Amino acid sequence: MSAADFEMSNRPRRDYSLVGESTRRAIETGLASAEWYHTEVARKTMKELMQRSDAPAIRDTMLWIGLILGSAAGAITFWGTWWCVPFFAVYGVLYGSASDSRWHECGHGTAFKTRWMNDVVYQIASFMLMRNPVVWRWSHARHHTDTIIVGRDAEIAVMRPPDLLRAALAFTGYGDFRHALPALLRQASGRLSDDEKSYIPETEWQRAVVAARWHVAIYVATVAVALYTRSFLPLMLIGLPRIYGSWHMVLTGLLQHIGLADNVIDHRLNSRTVYMNPVSRWIYWNMNYHVEHHMFPMVPYHALPRLHALIKHDLPAPNPSMWHAYKEAWPVLLRQLRYEDFYLKRELPATARPYRHEFHNMAVSAAAE
Amino acid sequence: MAEWIEACAAGDIDEEDVMRFDHAGRTFAVYRSPDDEYFATDGLCTHERVHLADGLVMDDIIECPKHNGRFNYKTGAAKGAPVCVNLKTYPVKVTAGKVLIEIE
Ligand code: FES
């Protein structure tokens, strides 16, 4: 964006629980389950963009699995020497980062045309990420219904005021791991949190518990093998890559929404499209076109560049690089430490149609009064 | 009492596609299957209030544009999370090039 514009106002502190005060206000003001802005696209063109195909995802998945197996073989061969390090570096990113985009796209059912292929890759990627496949399917549905609506969205990565230590720890993988593993253990013990129960229908609760138990069983087996063989290697291959390999997922994923508006119903204002290098785009499966994805979640990852070209006239200018996007977001996060209402207001092109501006300018609390 | 209402001309919908039809404060989705048959369901997804006519028809499946929930539009059956409740379907006939649906 050309001229960044910052806005402040005095709103009450945000309550990020999904059953609290912000939830009540979001429902009362109509922010929850609202109708969101969409750029006009002719039905015929949209139908073409939405078309499913197995070929791109089969190609990418074979490459992904081939690289995983190849780097694992190298890591095992050179285990005990420094030569294993580059193999683990590659293996970790494929396991701990590329799995995120595969989880995401297959969860939407848009990666492959064939349903079971989406389901198989979804289950494998969920395991790699220590994500309960049932819980996260529903949390992601909520993320699309109520993107960055405080009190409703279960997937807000950086809350306000931002916890910068936590955000920094996220790059090490530990920040997320220390929540993911206890959550999995809790779910395996049969307990879902109130937040989880707020977005998962009751009919799915038992399935979530069973899925968690399968994951925990595999981790227990891995630990048992490590103890039996008196080697750390099994854990370096299963489980720990979630820590040492997730930096790329965090690097790309944090940019999706940080520093931008919350409590608006226009993805052009709360999501970010960032141009990236081809390797990152392959790992991330084109989720750098994030405004486009949120506006039209039916469009498969391989068609997002075409969608971007088609609608970019109606979107804020994309960030030309990750570096540019972080440089833009960093001062906003710093300001939010003192003023949590501070945010980066995206500028729409002069020809673009603004949408429901009342939400952008009004304090949610005031609207509730 | 049920009556037959004209929804559109048969040629208004492409093969393997869907169209929205609003009538008397209600909204419906009218489908043309790949083998050139016509079907009708309620127009809104049973997960959230989203128009299915913006979704994608693949064989006998309509995929919702919001969270990609899938229904069999011929039977109304929900095909799995995040859609858990079936869609209501309506009888359809084509007469003199017009698509009619039977609505109570
Ligand atoms: S609104 Fe249709 S699947 Fe969610």
**Phi, psi of A122, rounded to the nearest 5 degrees:** -60, -45
What span, in angstroms and rounded, lies between the C-alpha atoms of B86 and B75?
9
CA distances from B77 to B58, B60, B87 (A): 15, 11, 6
- Residue B64 Cβ < 6 Å to ligand 1: yes
- Residue B45 Cβ < 6 Å to ligand 1: yes
What span, in angstroms and rounded, lies between the C-alpha atoms of A45 and A238?
43
**Phi, psi of A196, rounded to the nearest 5 degrees:** -60, -40
Q: What is the mean pLDDT of residues A99-103?
A: 98
Given this model, what pLDDT does residue A366 score?
33
| A286-336 residue pLDDT tens | 999 999 999 999 999 999 999 999 999 999 999 999 999 999 999 999 999
- CATH tag for B3-103 (out of 3.40.1180.10, 2.102.10.10, 3.40.640.10, 3.40.50.620): 2.102.10.10
| A233-285 residue pLDDT tens | 999 999 999 999 999 999 999 999 999 999 999 999 999 999 999 999 999 99
Spell out the domain ranges in chain A.
Answer: 3-368
Given this model, what pLDDT does residue A353 score?
85
Confidence of residue A174 (pLDDT cuts 50, 70, 90): confident
Q: How many other C-beta atoms lie within 10 A of the C-beta of residue B88? A: 11
**Between A35 and A353, where is the model more confident?**
A35
Q: What is the mean pLDDT of residues A153-173?
A: 93
Query: Looking at chain B, which residue has its C-alpha nearest residue A111?
Result: B68
What span, in angstroms and rounded, lies between the C-alpha atoms of B72 and B68?
13
Q: What is the mean pLDDT of residues A171-195?
A: 94
Q: What is the mean pLDDT of residues A104-111?
A: 97
Strand order in the sheet with B3-9: B3-9, B98-103, B92-95
| A317-330 residue pLDDT tens | 999 999 999 999 99
Q: What is the mean pLDDT of residues A227-231?
A: 97
Given its phi and psi angles, is residue B99 left (phi above 0), alpha (psi -120 to 50 degrees) or beta? beta
Residues from chain A that touch B81, judged by Cβ atoms under 8 A, are 134, 137-138, 141, 204
Q: What is the mean pLDDT of residues A69-74?
A: 98
Given this model, what pLDDT does residue A360 score?
65
- Put simply, the chain A residues between 148 and 207 with a CB less than 8 A from any chain B CB are 201, 203-204
| pTM exceeds 0.90, yes or no | yes
Confidence of residue A369 (pLDDT cuts 50, 70, 90): very low
Ranges of residues in chain B whose predicted pLDDT is under 50: none
Q: What is the ipTM of this complex?
A: 0.90
Confidence of residue A10 (pLDDT cuts 50, 70, 90): low
Q: Cβ contacts of residue B49 below 8 Å, gap of 6+?
A: A33
> Who among B14, B65, B82 is closest to A141 (CB)?
B82
pLDDT at A367 over 80: no
